[in-house]
Each structure stands twice: as C-alpha cells, then as structure tokens.
Structure 1
Amino acid sequence: MSELLQAVVESQEKKDLRDFIDLLRRDGSHRYLLRNDILNAFSNFCEDHQKESDYSQTSALGRLIYYTQELILEYETLYLIVRPQIAKQESYRVFDDLSFEPLTIQELLDVRDRYVNHYHPEEGDVFEIDFQPFYDYSPIIKDSKNIGRGVDFLNRYMSSKLFQDPNQWLTAVYNFLSLHHYNGITLLINGRIRDQKQLSTQVKRALAFVSDLPQDKPYEDIRFELQDLGFEPGWGNTAGRIKESLEILDELIDSPDNQSLEAFLSRIPMIFRIVLVSVHGWFGQEGVLGRPDTGGQVVYVLDQARSLEKQLEEDIELAGLQGLGVKPKVLILSRLIPNNDGTRCNERLEKVYGTENAWILRVPFRERNPEITDNWISRFEIWPYLETYAIDAEKEICAEFEGKPDLIIGNYSDGNLVAFLLARRLNVTQFNVAHALEKSKYLFSNLYWQELEKTYHFSIQFTADLIAMNAAQCIISSTYQEIVGRPDSVGQYESYQNFTMPDLYHVVNGIELFSPKFNVVPPGVNENIYFPYSKTEDRIPSKIEQVEELLFYSNDESQVFGKLDNPEKRPLFSMARLDRIKNLTGLVECFGKSPQLQEHCNLILIAGKLSTSETTDSEERDEIEKMYRLIDEYNLHGKIRWLGVRLPKSDSGEVYRVIADHQGIFVQPALFEAFGLTILEAMISGLPTFGTQFGGPLEIIQDQVNGFYINPTKPEETGQKILDFVQKCEKQAEHWNRISEKAMERVYSSYTWKIHTTKLLSLARIYGFWNFTSKENREDMLRYIESLFYLIYKPRAQALLEKHKAQ
C-alpha cells in the first residue's frame, strides 16, 4: 500500500490529496473519521472539484481512499489506517509537505490515545497485551480466503505429518484409540493390541473377518470374536459399518490423506456429555423472549441442544453402543433467578422439550447482595459474579454427569468466560460462540471506554473477550465476515487484533486470525416450529385465527398499541427486542418518511414492552420513548401496530406464516447483526426478506435472488427499495411467490440444524485428536491468560461488585 501512497504524492494527484485534506480540515483540524465518513467526504470532494464520474475508481487517490478504514487528523499531521486486503492493516503518518512514513502498531495506539487526550509518555509506557508469541509454534493458515475453515487446514496438516513421520503419528493414533472409555466400559481397542504395529496387523485381520459376514449382521453377534482380535465396541452397529470404519483406518495407516483422517475421526465415539453455557439474561422455554438480554441466543442454544442430543443418539447407535446403555446428555448451564417474574428461571433443573436427556441446569449467583443477585442482572453488569459462579457450576455439572463433560461450549462474552474457567479447571475442550461482540456494535467503544464505563463496563467485557477467544481450542462463527469482515469492512474478531483502552492497556496482537481454531458453522432453524406457510397440513386452524386476531384486530391495550384503519394492506413485519442496535425505531422512521409506502402497507412490530414503567433497561426505555415520538411526528396512527407481547415459540412460527398468508414482507433493520436468526425464520416461512447489509445477513441473503439488502442508516433509500418491491408485486402477481420460493430453498440447502450439529460434533472429535497429538504447550498461553484474568479482569470486576453492594 506504500507504493500506492507513493504514486499519489509523486503524481499530479498530489494536489488533489492536499485539497482533500484541506476540505477535511475546514470542519475542524482535529477529527477521527471512519470509512463511511471518508467515502462520503471524498464523494463531496469529487463533486465540488468537478471530477469525472469514475475518478474514485480509476485514480490512485480514489483507490487509496477506498482502502482507508480510518483517518485521523491532527493539527499538522494526517494518519491513514489502510486495509489493503482482508485481515491485513497498514498505518502511515502523512506530514504537511505530504511526505510520509509507516507507523508501528505501538505508534498507532499512541496516536489514538493522543486523540482522546490520554497519552502520557512522561508517566512511562502503558501495559501491552501481545498474544502473537503464543501462536508462533502453531500451524497457521496462509491464505485469508481459508480463514474460518480451520478444520480443513488441520486435517491436511495432520495427514501430512502422518505421511512424513508415520511411526510417530501412528503411535499417537494408537495411544488416542486406547484412551476411550464410557463409565468404565473400554471402547475401540483393548490390551490385546499392544502397539501401533500390532494395530495395523489386527486391523487387516479384523477386516478379513468382517468382510466374510453379511453386512447387516448385528455387532452383538460378533462382539466376542472382535474382542479376541483386540477390538472393543465403538466401530459400528453392524458388520458392514464396522468394515467401513476399519477400511478407513487401514487406508489412513497405509496412505494417509485429509479426507480419510476426517472421515475416521468423525466416527470415533468420544463425545457423550456436552455443556452449553448461556449465563446472562432470562433463559427458559416459556415467557422469556422479548425480555432484556434475551432473544436469538436462547432460541439458538435450545435448538442446538435438541439437535445435538438427536445427533449424538444417531452416532451412538451407528457406533454400536446402544446395547451397552450408553446415553448422551446435554446440559444448558444458565443462572437461576429467584425473582423469576412468572418464568421458570427459578427452577434448578428443567427438561428441554422434545428431548430424552437434555436439561437446563440453573445455578444461582452467590448472595452477596440479594437485592441484586435475586433479580435479573444486565449483561453489562454481570461480571463480578462469574468466577464464583463457575466454581459452583463445576460441582453441579459433575454431579449431574457423575463425571466430567466431554465438551464445553460457551455462548456470548460472559458464557465464554465461564466456559474458559470451567474448561481450565476440568481440563476439557472449550469451544466459543460469540453471537455478537459488543466492541463492533458500539463505535469507538474502546477509545472512549472511560466515558462509557459507568453504563457498559467495556474494560471488563473486552478483557473477558480476549481471555476467552485465545483460550478456546475452537471458535465457532456463523459467518466468514464475523471473523474478518469483507474487503470493505472489518470483522468482529478482526477488530480485536489491535486496539487501545487508553490509560488501561494497549492490545498489540489480540488474536491470530489465521489460526485454525476459527470455523464457520452457521446455525439452523427449528423446522418443527418454523416451516413454510404453504404446508397447510401442519398448521392448526385455531392457532391461525388466534394469531390473525392478535396481529390485525385485537384491541387489548395491555398488549397492543395502534388500530389499523385498513387491515387488508400488505403487512411490513419485524420482530426484535427494543434496543438501539436492533433499530426498530429506525424502521418506524423509514416507514414514516415514505407516504407512498404507507399507502400500500401497514407496519406491524412485535417488540418488547409498551410502557417505560414496565422496564428497568435504560436502552429499552429510551427506544420506547422514541417509538411513541416517531409515531406522533409522522402521524402513523392507523397505519402501525406495535405488539408488546412475549409469544410462545410455537406462536412465533405461526406469526411469520400468517404474515406470509397476507403476502407480507419481513424487514430486519439492525444497525449491526452478527448473524440473523430471525431472517432464517422469516425466509423458511416463505417471507420475502429485507435484511441489514451490516453483518451476517450478507451471507444468508443473496441480493435480488432470495431477498434484499438494505442500509438501515439510509431510511429514505430503504423505504424506496421496499416500495419498489411492493409495486412490482402489485404489477406482477408471481414476483412475491418467486422470491418466497427462493427464500425457502436457500434455508433448506444451507441452514438446517442437522448440517450444523453434524459439523460441530465432527469438529469436537478432530480438535480433541489435535489437542492430544500435537503436544502443543498451551500451558504458557494459559498462564498468560490467567495473568490477565487476575491482574486486570478480577480487580475491575471486584470494583464493580463493591458498587453493587453500595446500591
């Protein structure tokens, strides 16, 4: 990128660069611009200077501006933070005479500190956090397009090692197979196979034996013959399945490759007990959706638990372990809330509906201050209670399992921290799921953390994120861009590569994006609840009538605000919690600014509470006030219905279908969306969907094919896009049906829970094998992580606890 900058300052475009800088300085000489601001400013510059229409694409300066993510103006200096490609950043200091020099990360962080007047070199250096040395001994992905495909890389890496040094790796395979037990039952191989050479010999003998048997002969009928050869249960439930497993192992021994390695490891029965950690918010199966801090994550985790149990049962049956009484068990670890507000969140144990052995296990926070700990606690205030919570949860988990779990999966920042604490104590594989990293949602949240600390406590949360993401053996993301963004935007995890928390610490290298720990495994959608509106045989007429009444006609003022003048208009529908990022008030503004859209459509929202007196969440209160203000400002009475209801999950599925019956449209207007589960729910129901272009929806929706992108920061543009679609549907009756069909096809082909859990369990087995065979010395990293926990996280959490006690 220095060559491009050099080309600008050595050409006639040097004057344009100087004029552009002068334009920026007219609005103030001390400014911090992000990419959208920079592009808008450059567009204005091109217009003011009557540049050709393609100047921004064809000129060296235009290309430089395109790659610039941040621009910091000081009084006589300009700083460019350039992103020439995904997961790569360069920084330059440009002087008044347009000479320039590169900046180190440390120098850039100093500049950011100086911008907010928190640079104090006379007081000594700030604490630097650098994880890079701990990744130096790990295999690293080379090409950014392969980021998020860590398991593919690991399989190729391990199979190449197996090929290069067969004796060492076969020994590792033999030792790994010797490990596995279930409640004292030996699995896979027994003491008759004493080393890796004998393993190879016995595999061939066992293959010769099972090859002569009928393929459907049950394992129980040949169990003792296989035991004599050294093989215990776990290879398959029939002679045919056992033959397939042994053939894959035989091929792996003789001619290793990544496909056979993955196929073999995916069959090994080593995962039976799983903990899913979801601490914050109201976690339950009824009466929790729509409450503060509760939404898509609850749906995700419950559906994942059901699907995991089902997949584990299938795997156990295929492995031939059912006759031995092997049963999977899945625990969802959440917090017990004594003041349960009509939910079941005060119950220690609750069975997950539709499962045999999946449970919600609720553990309370210790009662340091019952006035606080007996109630729901915001996700921004939860931090002081998590360490002791993990200690208490460990005892409860081990009691429920009568032993240790095989896998712990954290959810969100707090759940991932608890997963780290549990995995560290139990020496168990840890997976992380972020759902959303707040750092990306709140612009400049790290730079202005001190001003935001009283409300959000980002210094604690971002430290917890650094701890958990580096400790995890595997990070599950829903999309590629969640990790490293797009060519024109930074990913959530990428934003942790380097940043400053002024006066607290500098993060020089916060995460290795090219680590094989990252894997894209999108969630699915519960097909029992969310299914096409056209599947009339699966719908209940009385439920349809009930939902119709609620959506369009009910006058119950405790649940609904607004009566529709013309309920027959096409419905625009959205459903989310009421907070700034979900931006439902932005959708109301978009609707209000388009009288034409109001002529064709009604706006129907299901969102949170209707009254500020009913909520203790400050953001929700602000959004409620803003909603009423916008309805009055644009005179939307008679054109909007706002439902402040918490629907049972089964009803929420019917809501989408009823909207589809009316040939409605789903709009997801979030300012940022990590994934977009409601988009999947709407699309599988058959609703044409308009989703935010900021975040995960970009990978779910294919624009103009099975849905549409919108920029929620441009309400007039969004309103026009929706209006264009509506008008086209009115002219061409089949247009709505065409998009509806494509939306359903998209979900069924890529976003089912069967796809998700099959991949997830395969990852768990492969990473388990990798951790065993790689002999990586993770202890040094874990000790470093513990230092951050005890020296930064814990004191700050303790200080927050003292504030809680004083309340």
Structure 2
Amino acid sequence: MTQQTEGLYIVLLSIHGLIRWHNLELGRDADTGGQTLYVVELAQALASQPEVARVDLLTQRVVDNNVSSDYAQPVEELSENLRIVRIDAGPEEYLPKESLWDHLDSFIDNLTDFFRDNNAVPDIIHSHYADAGYVGCHIASLLGIPLIHTGHSLGRIKRSRLMASGLKAQEIETRFNMSRRIEAEEQTLATAERVITSTHQEIEEQYELYHYYQPDQMRVVPPGTNLKKFMPPTGTELKSSLFKKLTTHLKEPDKPIILALSRPDQRKNIVALVEAFGQSLQLQQLANLMIVAGNRDDIDDLDEGAQEVFHELLVAIDRYDLYSKVALPKHHQRDQVAEIYQIAAASGGVFVNPALTEPFGLTLIEAAACGLPIVATEDGGPQDIVRNCKNGILIDPLEPETISAALLKLLRKQDLWRKYSASGLRGVQENYSWDAHAKRYLQIIRPIAERSEQLVRKPVKQRAGLYRDRAIVSDLDQNLIGDSQSLRELLEVLRRQRKSTYFILATGRRLDSALKLMKKHRIPQPDVLMTSSGTEIYHAPKLTIDTFWARHISYRWSLREVKKILVDFPGLKNQPTQEQSRFKLSYYINPELADIEKIKQLLHQEEQAVFVQTAFGQFLDVLPLRASKGMALRYVVEQLNIPLEAVFVAGGSGADEDMMRGNTLAAVVANRHNEELSQLTDIERIYFSRQPNAAGILEALDFYDFFNSCRDPREVSPADENG
C-alpha cells in the first residue's frame, strides 16, 4: 500500500443512516438526522481546504426497494477529491443501527479490502457514533492509522433518556444492544488519539462517565453553520407576507421584536421570558414579544408536557394583560426559520434563549448569523458562544429580572445593539462557519497525522461492571444544605465516585425552585432530580422529564376535585402558585386548627386517591396516591437496575420517611427538623448521625463503608454466622 504524497487523505466513517450528497432525507427515521447532515457538511468543508488531497465518506451500502437506489451505488463522487464510498456488510436491506452490530466485523473486512484494492491508506480515520467507533478501532489497529472520534450521542446518556420514557433496563438491552454500544464506546476512547465534541459541557457531563476518558484527549470544535442560509436581513423583511402573518395580532407591529424560538418544553423556560416581559412596563413600551414554539392546530392535541407549557404561557399573558403585545404564532415552516430571525433583526430586536439547560445553543448561532444580538442562559453552550462572538448578555434563567435588565440594556442603547450585531456576524464567521470548523479541525489532526503529536495516556482503572451499581439519595433543605465546608467535601467525594455511584436529589421544591437553590450552593446537576415531592422526575444531562412516571401517577388523580374539597378546611392556607404543580397541592398548616387525620379521612370519604404528607411542622402536600419521594425512588432505582440494598438515603424531615423505610441504607442527619423521624430509631438499616448536614451524610457513608462493602455493620452476615 502507498500513502498520499501531497495533502492529507481523510476518511470519515459514518456507517448507519441514509447518506448521499443531495436531498438528505433528514427526519425520515431516528438514524437519518443531525449526524448525517454533520458528516456530509464536514466532508465538503474539509475537501475545500487546500491542504487536503482527498476526503472519502464511508458508509453502508443499501440495496432496498423501500429506499432510493442512490444508496446502492458503491461510489458517489461530488468532486475529484470528494466521494461517498458505500461498503457492503451483512444483509443488503436497510437496517436500523441497533441491528447492525452483528455485521460490523464484515464491514471491517470489506473496508480493509477497499483500502488494499485502492493501494492507499488514509492519514486519518474519523469515526462518527459508536458503531463507526467499533470499526475505526479495528481498522486503526490493523493498519496503524490514527483514529479521531466524535460520539454525537453516548450510550450511557441514551440509556438514561430511554429509562425516562419508561423502558426497563432489560428491554433497553434487548432492543438497543446497549451493552455492546457502551463497550464499543469504551474501546473507542481507549484507542482514539483525539475525541472531538461540540461543547465543554459535553465533556464534563457525558464523557467523564466513561472509564477510558482522558481529559487530554478531548477537543472542542463547534459544528459549522450554513451561512448561505442564515445571513443578515436585506431590508425588505418588514414588508413581507410572513411579517404580516406573524404580527397580525400585535397592536403596534413596528416595534422591535424580542424573539424566542424553541420547542414547547418546560426546560426551555419560555414562561420566565413572558414573566420578565409582563413585569416590565418599560419593556412593553419598547418592544413586542414573539414566541415561536413549534406548530399546533389545537393545544389539546399536543402531548401533556407541551399542553402544560402553553397553559402556563396563556395564564402569564392573561395575568399581565399582554394581549396585543405578545405574538404566539400557531404555524411556521422549517424553511422560514432564517427569515424569522431576519425579521427580528430588521426590527431592531433581540433573540432570547432562557433555557434552564442548553448544552449547545444552535439557535443562538443562527440568530447571530442573521445579525441579532442575543440574551441567553448562562448554562453550557451559550457561555462559549458569547465568549467567542461577544454579541450578547448571559442571564440567570431562574431570575426573570436578569432577563428584563439585559433586554432593556440592548433595546435602549442603540450603539451597543449595533456593536453586538456586527460582532456576532464576525464571530460566527470566525468560529461557527464550516470553513472555520474545517481550519480548526485540521489544526488538531495535522500533527496527529504527521505523528509529531501523540496522546500520553494516563493509567485508568476499569471497574468490573459496565454500569454504576449504587446510588446516594438526599433531600436539599434541612439536610444537604447548611454547612458550606462539609458540602464541598461531600461534592468532591461524589465527583470522585461518579463512575460507580449515581447521585440523586429528592426535594419537595418545584424544578425551578430546586435549581435556584442548587445554583446558590454550587451543587452540580444530579443524575436524577426528583422534584415536587416525588411527582416529577428529571434525568441528566438535559433534565429530561420522565414521561412514564407522569402517566403512571396520574391514575385517578383529580387536582380540581381535591382543591374543591379542601377549599374551606380550617387551618389550611394555599402556598404560592410557584410551589404548586399539576401533581402537587401545597398548603401551609396552622397546627392548632388543622387536624391532619381528619384531612386524610375527608379526602378518602370523597373517594380521592391521594397521598398526604407533612414536613417541617408547617407544610402539607396532597399528591396522587401513587406518588411520594419513596415511591419515586423505588421506581428510579428499579429503572437503573440497582438493588435497594445498594442505595443510601439521607433525610432530615418527615417528608423523607418513606424513602428511608425498607431495604435502603439510611441516615438521619443530626439537624433534622425538631423530632421528626425520631420514630425511626428502632428501625434496622437507619443510622442517626451525630453531625449535621453534609457532615452527617459523610459520617453515615463512612459508617456503612458505602463505596466498598456497602453494608450495615450492625447486621450479621452469612459469613459471620458460619464463623
């Protein structure tokens, strides 16, 4: 075999999905989405660079009457140095990626033959996704080619999302070959010279969970943006039919447009934007608000999560009487998105992304490419974007006043608006265009290809099991929080044990309230966050809500009926709206007037399937019968496939009691509220710490030797009994 003598020969390996140069069938199925678009655009960008001699994009060949015959062509050339090469592997028909694993070794052999027949070995092979990583590892080892890898999505994170949809661990293994995928990802990390990601957050929250993770291996190169599609306004946008359609309900449509564009998802936090707008008369005088939140014919036809978002939006619009000041268009087409950005820019507006969590922030880059200054959440990807483009202001998504302050600053100061608009255009060109991506990419791989730079791997210790096998669960208030020094020590322990141990938080607070408290005390996002007393469950890293749990606990639950029954009950007072949720009714208690047992009796007499709990002697929650912290915890650990005996629970109030009873290893911290939980002193597997707060948790973890033997030393083991 011979090497290319001039310029780099790069092979991109993306096995699954339907890949061709024209008319990509994006969204046809789960395998034909962002990854296929990314590798096609990356290949084209690299082939246009003068130091690149050839780029081959290698994928599977598909001969199937159900798909286009394009995918059966062995070779599809786009230019003299750029082609798609399709390799045979297993059955010819189009298979989902989960069914390809048994055929990847055949792909490896046929790919090796391809290189041999062409008498050329690439300088670099870049694998995309786990299946390509598996192939890339073998080819790299066989032919001595440096491997570069991009995961796109990772098995450990995908497993969490599937569990959030209600799938059991065994079903996930059977349907998605998850163990093989994760093993392939570990092998890829052990082999690759460099791993390319989109953001720093992706590295910290996802790759760090892997045993063969090497910090020096990782490089952040954001994907490119199509600047032929997303570009500044031409000056005709405010006369277009689309502008008239979008602003038809606005009283003063010529005002600047504050634009938000996202899915109707709680995590996108667009209700907070309406709150900020509604609370600021100055903002309302200066601008209109436009929220483009997907397409809908009837809100009642949307899924429950989207329905709840629209309900909160409409309630907020009504509360602040924002009719004729807020546009909430029902429909838009995908190819109109760029024009929507351009309309907002032409109006002198601002783009806002107030999401609770934002791993990347593609909409921010698209908006910047259209000349829109941005206001964005300080979480994740937007930090990188604002740092690179210097085109906007980061805000705390949990504090509406920071949103309104940033918007007022940009709308009032025209010089600043123009500065950020111009800076954003430059920054996108320099950092987020495909040309910029390709140049940064080549800076990384060139020394690897030339063998002048090699990864020095640090020794790693791989655990026996593929998945984490234990979990630590804690409440926030009157428990985890209270002493900053011991909290820092506990968080460091959790960080070190991250590969073996899940971290779960269970709180009576709503999601936004819990996140605000966590942020204040610098508590990182847990693997699972159970909020509103166990009625809502969110999974890391994107706070994916557990939809199966929501369906499960809705059984025989009637929020309206419970409200009606308790409306005049003596000693009860409604907590503020922000502490209520669709599965939790929260009250303040006057202990002298409110008889808890009578409340329970009344609700049961009225045939309400509910669970009633109290906490801190002053709060009462009414939940669905199937919901509580303890029920949510048992559901979560079953999904994670962890035995309760390997779960440690720390509690400090009566609301934690049902988490602590049973087979878990539990601890009551010394600062528990009054004498709540004192009735648990005689219960086995419950330890009463002498120290308060996080120090008490650390004390109990040491008592149980949790990260090693993980058992209650007071219990007699079978080995002890046998002498």
TM-score, normalised to structure 2, is: 0.50
TM-score, normalised to structure 1, is: 0.45
**RCO (CA 8 Å, sep 6+): is it higher in 1 or 2?**
1
> Which protein has the bigger helix share?
1
